[in-house]
Structure 1
Amino acid sequence: MIEVNFDGIVGPTHNYAGLSIGNRASAANAGGISRPRVAALQGVGKMRRLMTLGLRQGVFLPHVRPHVAWLRELGFDGGDSEVLAAAWSADRALVANAMSASAMWTANAGTVSPASDTADGLCHITPANLSTMPHRASEAEQTERQLRLAFADRRFFRVHRPVPAAFGDEGAANFMRLASPSGRCAIEMFVYGEGRAGGFPARQHRTASEAVARGHGLDPAHTPMVRQSDAAIAAGAFHNDVVAVANGHVLFAHEHAFADPAGLREAVHALMPDAVIIEVPADRVSLDTAIRTYLFNSQLVTMPDGDMALILPAEARENDHVWTWLTELVARETPIRRLEVVDVRESMRNGGGPACLRLRVQVDADALAAIDPRFLLDDVTCDRIEAVIAREWPESIAPDDLGDSRLWERCATARGALTAALGFGPGEI
């Protein structure tokens, strides 16, 4: 299979409103001055880096922001500028939610099961409802629209409706897939939380995970439901991908990622004896350090030569405990042989590293050819995207700027310029 990483382009409204409860980076930088242009260019730079490594890359576009339609549903009337001005006067937090650029975290866009795992032999995709947080709960409709455009060919893909909002689903950020090198066995693991830990809500409901697995036609015997540890949630691991990542036959996780790590190891090896589980011990890298550096929010990828590489944020390179352990890891006889460092500092400040920015889709050559090419990247398309960002994206956004009508207009114009540059018609996406 061919893996395509679909990254979210950081939108022009990227700001530090601190809306994500339980996300330590988001909370720590709340009220700061963001740099949307730099953030978006860093994101495109990461995509280019993966392409130079021989990996396939796609994109999803920023959502319509400010989200005036959402504010209208909350009772604000009039033209767009009147709605926004009235909302800003009544409750500034509502405008902050309507300006959120959090759709850039495409790991939360949905859950993807490749055709080799499903009963009908189609690639199944379920958009996440993201119902736990107000600033994200409004994303599902626009995300679903993009998924249905990109994966419209029903010979290869089936895009589902989101799970009902009563059951929180946060997509691939709480999902891991292992596949045997032989190709004869795969495990799709859904990671869920329960209740509240450390005052933070568990965002992924087990019922939602089970619903996605049923809808995708997965074999229950190869679809374990794994509980996230309360300690990880309380420490700020608001999604599982902050403390664990999987690729191929390798599971790379912190010692305290899961509620029952011994049971998970036993279950994985019973299903896939050749699975490799690499566990980072807490006495080498504390849970706090792992979350602060986003060590596990790295992308674990298979290179064209068959070796695996970790695509790490610069913060992991800058921490002595993390980097020492990683250099020891690549020196050992494990499938992870390379460390590649990328700078996505602006998105990290808002609570997401390299893995948060991407959604994996695994397809064969025929299915790849059926994906809408406007969502696939090459160097020319990257040039086009970067030119629009450099010309149209705001240089900075301070908290009080969110109430400025000139910013609203500029952000709407910027998104329109990007969609046009990529060949999308007015109102198509």
Structure 2
Amino acid sequence: MKAVEVNFDGLVGPTHNYSGLASGNLASARNREQVSNPRAAALQGLAKMKRLHDLGLSQGLLPPQPRPEPGLLRQLGFDGSDAEVLARAAHEAPWLLSACCSASAMWAANAATVSPAADTGDGRVHFTPANLVSQLHRSIEADMTGTILRAIFHHPEFFCVHSPLPATAALGDEGGANHSRLCTAYSNRGVALFVHGRSRQQPGPQRFPARQTLEASEAVARQHGLDPTRVIYAQQRPDAIDAGVFHNDVIAVANRTLLFCHESAFVDQLQVLDQLDHALNGELNLIQVNEHEISLQAAVQSYLFNSQLLTLSGGHTLLLAPQECRENEQVWHYLQTLLKARKGIDAVEVADLRQSMRNGGGPACLRLRVVLEPKALEACHQGVLFSDQLYAQLTDWVERHYRDRLAPSELADPALLDESRVALDELTRILGLGSLYPFQH
């Protein structure tokens, strides 16, 4: 039986806002303090899921994390009721309030690193939740991510969900956003490409932090029991990180044997590509974009490489790109030329994810890729697998519970906390996940 790749998209949470928390993320910084539309953000994300489902692809979702998170503020010395804690933080340390309200778990590519059963030592699907220690607002996601993954991938015969790596900068781990798997078919043994920005021996960028470490990638590969001969470690170009490539998925995307990347993606890029081609027995299909075709600046602005590469029925490859690619003349011209050349991408579609994009997250940021054999797919929690009925339920749920505007100055509103908890409590019933969140216990 053939394995399938399931995209588990992060469902955008009710506190989606533009606080500009992510260092090195140019879109996040550019839109700081703007008014967001959580309702539109969630509906845009659901529309993308629906499109993939309609294309015949397997699609799932990951529920939002509970936000605001007053527990973080209590750890940092604020006391009183939830409303008092939020109000004090708004007055004394608004950046901490923003951190505890961030809806950044919507970018599920950072949720975990995933290794399919075909690649692991024990023949199970392995997950390591990312510790995300480089950013405070993301570091508070790790434990809840593990809880969510264990609720969905709960059958020990098929799945193993590890604990996050120790929360230290020396083991900074950003999950699937810095990991690609290449393979001749999803059921076959793959080649794991782990990309890091720094290590104990390698210098990092000068302007922005390098979030992923080599040591973290090596630890995840060991945890998952991967064959060392089928693991490749590559370093991100420091100058690319300083140009706004805070994760590898901003400059490279892979699917099956196809790697679509910019020429500025990796240090010693020719060597990395040779290693990949050798590991794939000469079957690497490379589309490498040169600077004169698309500048690094245009790649970051349009999020071209944060597109999804999808294998459709019949073996055709679709590139699902953000709307911003169509609006960038240089990028759109390149894509039309690429389609005419028939180099491995057969069709291009664009998705309107403007609310997410304004915070620096495109189509690939929103999804966690999980390759599942048929029995493993049956063994995971079925309530999070996409269907027309679930789409209708979730669209109605968003329309009833989400605000259509949210400014960072409104995050201390105690009603927002109540609204969010009421919404998530109903969501767990829709998805059949039981008492998932701490506030439900």
Could you state the TM-score of these two structures normalised by the residue count of structure 2?
A: 0.95
Q: 1:312 aligns with which of 284, 305, 321?
A: 321
Q: How does 1:115-264 map to 2 (within 5 A)?
A: 115-166=117-168, 167-181=171-185, 185-194=189-198, 195-264=203-272
Q: 2:79 aligns with which of 77, 81, 90?
A: 77
Alpha-carbon separation, structure 2, partners of 1:189 and 1:197: 21
Residue identity opposite 1:90 in structure 2: E
Deviation of 1:421 after TM superposition, in Å, equals 2.5
Contact 1:202–1:233 at 8 Å: present in 2 too? Answer: yes
Residue identity opposite 1:258 in structure 2: F
Alpha-carbon separation, structure 1, partners of 2:274 and 2:419: 54
Residue identity opposite 2:243 in structure 1: A
Alpha-carbon separation, structure 1, partners of 2:151 and 2:411: 31
Alpha-carbon separation, structure 1, partners of 2:19 and 2:62: 23
> Which SS does the other structure have where 1:96 is aligned?
helix
Alpha-carbon separation, structure 2, partners of 1:370 and 1:185: 21
> Which SS does the other structure have where 2:393 is aligned?
helix
Of stretches 408-417 and 96-105 in structure 1, the one that deviates more from structure 2 is 408-417
Contact 2:118–2:189 at 8 Å: present in 1 too? Answer: no
Residue identity opposite 1:5 in structure 2: N
> Which SS does the other structure have where 1:20 is aligned?
coil
Q: Deviations over 1:198-250 (max 9, x none)?
A: 42010001000000000000011110110000121011000000000000000
Alpha-carbon separation, structure 1, partners of 2:8 and 2:60: 4
Identify the residue that residue 422 of structure 2 maps to in structure 1.
413
Identify the residue that residue 15 of structure 1 maps to in structure 2.
17
Deviation of 1:75 after TM superposition, in Å, equals 1.7
Which structure 1 segments of 5+ residues have no match?
Answer: none
Q: How does 1:383-402 map to 2 (within 5 A)?
A: 383-402=392-411
Could you state the TM-score of these two structures normalised by the residue count of structure 1?
A: 0.98
Q: Deviations over 1:313-344 (max 9, x none)?
A: 00011111111111111222322101111110
Identify the residue that residue 49 of structure 1 maps to in structure 2.
51
> Which SS does the other structure have where 1:305 is aligned?
helix
Alpha-carbon separation, structure 2, partners of 1:198 and 1:12: 35
Alpha-carbon separation, structure 2, partners of 1:47 and 1:313: 14
Matched, 1:374 2:376: no
Contact 1:41–1:389 at 8 Å: present in 2 too? Answer: yes
Matched, 1:63 2:71: no
Contact 2:428–2:436 at 8 Å: present in 1 too? Answer: no
> Which SS does the other structure have where 2:118 is aligned?
helix
> Which SS does the other structure have where 1:200 is aligned?
coil
Matched, 1:353 2:355: no
Q: 2:295 aligns with which of 281, 286, 295?
A: 286
Alpha-carbon separation, structure 1, partners of 2:321 and 2:188: 30
Identify the residue that residue 309 of structure 2 maps to in structure 1.
300
Alpha-carbon separation, structure 2, partners of 1:394 and 1:184: 45
Of stretches 73-82 and 357-366 in structure 1, the one that deviates more from structure 2 is 73-82
Residue identity opposite 2:367 in structure 1: R
Alpha-carbon separation, structure 1, partners of 2:228 and 2:377: 27
Deviation of 1:408 after TM superposition, in Å, equals 2.5
Contact 1:198–1:235 at 8 Å: present in 2 too? Answer: no
The 1:35/1:270 distance shift into structure 2, 3 A limit, reads same
Alpha-carbon separation, structure 2, partners of 1:18 and 1:68: 20
Of stretches 297-306 and 196-205 in structure 1, the one that deviates more from structure 2 is 196-205
Residue identity opposite 1:240 in structure 2: N
Q: Deviations over 1:329-375 (max 9, x none)?
A: 12223221011111101100011000000000001100000010122
Contact 1:180–1:275 at 8 Å: present in 2 too? Answer: no
> Which SS does the other structure have where 1:14 is aligned?
coil
> Which SS does the other structure have where 2:313 is aligned?
coil
Deviation of 1:196 after TM superposition, in Å, equals 4.2
Identify the residue that residue 26 of structure 2 maps to in structure 1.
24
Alpha-carbon separation, structure 1, partners of 2:342 and 2:66: 47
Of stretches 347-356 and 299-308 in structure 1, the one that deviates more from structure 2 is 299-308
Deviation of 1:89 after TM superposition, in Å, equals 2.2
> Which SS does the other structure have where 2:314 is aligned?
coil
> Which SS does the other structure have where 2:166 is aligned?
coil
Deviation of 1:2 after TM superposition, in Å, equals 0.8
Deviation of 1:71 after TM superposition, in Å, equals 1.3
Alpha-carbon separation, structure 2, partners of 1:52 and 1:323: 25
Matched, 1:4 2:3: no
Matched, 1:108 2:115: no
> Which SS does the other structure have where 1:55 is aligned?
coil
Deviation of 1:185 after TM superposition, in Å, equals 4.7
Alpha-carbon separation, structure 2, partners of 1:185 and 1:367: 17
Residue identity opposite 1:232 in structure 2: A
CA RMSD of aligned residues (A): 1.3
Matched, 1:37 2:46: no
Residue identity opposite 2:73 in structure 1: L
Deviation of 1:427 after TM superposition, in Å, equals 4.4
After the TM superposition, which segments of 4 or more aligned residues of structure 1 sit over 6 Å from their partners? none
Of stretches 363-372 and 71-80 in structure 1, the one that deviates more from structure 2 is 71-80
